[in-house]
Amino acid sequence: MSEQVLTLAENLKDRARAALGRRNLVLVGLMGAGKSSVGRLVAQQLAIPFVDTDAEIERVSRMTIAELFAAYGEQEFRALETRVIKRLLRGGPRVVSTGGGAFINESTRQHVKRGSLSVWLKADLDVLWERVNKRDTRPLLKTENPKQTLENLMNARYPIYAEADLTVLSRDVSKEVMAREVLAAIVEEKKAESKAP
C-alpha cells in the first residue's frame, strides 16, 4: 500500500473513533450478515474491546445456543439475551455484535437506542443463505425448508432492523472492505449530524 493510502486508512480509523465517542457500536442484522466477523475487525481498527453477545451467553450459561434453545425454549433464551446485553452495554465504548434476534426484542432495542450507535448489516437472501447453510448450529433454521424460514425472518425483521441508526450493505466483498464501510458510515453519521439545524 502506498504511504498516502496508509495515511487515509489511519485517518478513517481516527475519525470513526472520534465520531463514536463514548458510545457503544452495536451491530444488528440477520444470521450470516457478518456481525460477529466484521464486528471483531471493526473493534480492532477502533482499538476498543469487542464482545459477541451469542458468545457471552454461551460463556455465562456454559451451554451452546442450540442447547439453550433445546433445554429452555426461545422465550427463555430471549430473556437471558436481554439481561446479558443490558449488562454489556453498561461499559463502553465497545463493539457489541448481537445475535440475530436481539434487536427484534422491544426491551433490548430500546436499551440499544439509549447511548449506543447501532448499525444494521443488511444482506439479501442469497448472500445470507450461502453463508448460513454451511453450518447447522442455528436452531431457528432447523426446519423443513430453512431457506424459506430465512426469507420469512427477513420479511418479519427487516422493518425493525431498519430502526438502526445506520445501514451498511453486507455483500460478497471481503470482511476488511465491510469493516471499512462500517467505519466510513460512522464518520458520515457525524457529518450529517453536524449539518443538522
Ligand X SMILES: Nc1ncnc2c1ncn2[C@@H]1O[C@H](COP(=O)(O)OP(=O)(O)OP(=O)(O)O)[C@@H](O)[C@H]1O
Q: Residues touching ligand X: how many (CB under 6 A)?
A: 19
171 is in an annotated binding site: no
Q: Which does 34 bind (CB under 5 to 8 A by kind): ligand SKM, Mg ion, ligand X, none?
A: ligand X
**Which one of 40-48, 94-102, 113-121, 143-151 is the stretch in contact with ligand SKM (CB under 6 A)?**
94-102
Out of 12, 14, 36, 171, the residue judged to bind Mg ion by CB under 5 A = 36
Q: Is 194 annotated as a binding residue?
A: no
Query: Binder to ligand SKM among 19, 25, 26, 65 (CB under 6 A)?
Result: 65
Q: Which of 25, 26, 54, 183 binds ligand SKM (CB under 6 A)?
A: 54
101 binds, among Mg ion, ligand SKM, ligand X, none (CB under 5 to 8 A by kind): ligand SKM
Beta bridge partners of 166: 119
User: Within 13 A of 9's CA, how many CA atoms are on the CB side?
Assistant: 12
Q: How many CB atoms lie within 10 A of CB 66?
A: 14
Q: Does 119 bind ligand X (CB under 6 A)?
A: no
Can you tell me the distance from the alpha carbon of 187 to that of 189, in angstroms, rounded to the nearest whole number? 5
Interaction mask 135-174, ligand X, x per CB under 6 A = ---x----------------------------------xx
The answer on whether 131 is annotated among ligand-binding residues is no
Tell me, letter by letter, the H, E, C secondary structure of the chain. Answer: CCHHHHHHHHHHHHHHHHHHCCCEEEEECCCCCCHHHHHHHHHHHHCCCEEEHHHHHHHHHCCCHHHHHHHHHHHHHHHHHHHHHHHHHHCCCCEEECCCCHHHCHHHHHHHHCCEEEEEEECCHHHHHHHHCCCCCCHHHCCCCHHHHHHHHHHHHHHHHCCCCEEEECCCCCHHHHHHHHHHHHHHHHHHHHHCC
33 binds ligand X per the rule CB under 6 A: yes
Q: Judged by CB under 6 A, does residue 52 bind ligand SKM? A: no
Indicate the annotated binding residues for ATP.
32-37, 138
Indicate the annotated binding residues.
32-37, 54, 78, 100, 138, 157
Q: Which spans of this chain sit near Mg ion (rule: CB under 5 A)?
A: 35-36
Q: Which spans of this chain sit near ligand X (rule: CB under 6 A)?
A: 29, 31-38, 54, 97, 99-100, 131, 138, 173-175, 178
